[in-house]
Amino acid sequence: MRITQGTFSFLPDLTDAEIRAQIEYALDQGWAIGVEYTDDPHPRNFYWEMWGNPMFDLRDAAGAMGEVLACRKAHGNAYIRVNAFDSSRGFETTRLSFIVNRPAEEPGFLLKRHEVAGRQIQYTIESYAAARAPEGRRYE
């Protein structure tokens, strides 16, 4: 399967030039770029590991792109995303978030059904990768 989190997951994987163009757009808006990675892509895992703090003072797409490449070198078989943070009033949140690296194989998720009274089912989504190995060894 292909996890479709992020702004551009239905498109073919972005090339480095395309990633850089999106970073340039975000910087033009005055947003700060942050790079994050994880090997636990559960849809409610909101806190991926930060590849350093968001780069508030970096206004140069090449620099941000360098961090993407460095993160990819260190965590080539993890999910990596680029986030853009907007500090302006009324937003103060992420404005753009897209995946820039994926594991070679994405096993996806098991939907667990716990049947309770009255035909109700309590659902749990479990990542196959997270279930089979501890953090750091899930996509080896």
Q: Out of 54, 64, 75, 98, point to the residue binding other proteins (CB under 8 A).
A: 98
Burial (CB count within 10 angstroms: exposed 0-12, middle 13-18, buried 19+), residue 69: middle
Are the C-beta atoms of 53 and 32 separated by less than 8 Å? no
Q: For residue 91, state whether it binds other proteins (rule: CB under 8 A).
A: yes
Which x/- pattern over 102-131 shows residues binding other proteins (rule: CB under 8 A)? ------xxxx-------xxxxx-x------
Residue number with CB closer to other proteins (73 or 89): 89
Phi, psi values for residue 109, rounded to 5°: -130, 145
Which residues contribute to the site for other proteins (CB under 8 A)? 1, 3-5, 7-12, 18, 21-22, 25, 41-44, 46, 83-84, 89-98, 108-111, 119-123, 125
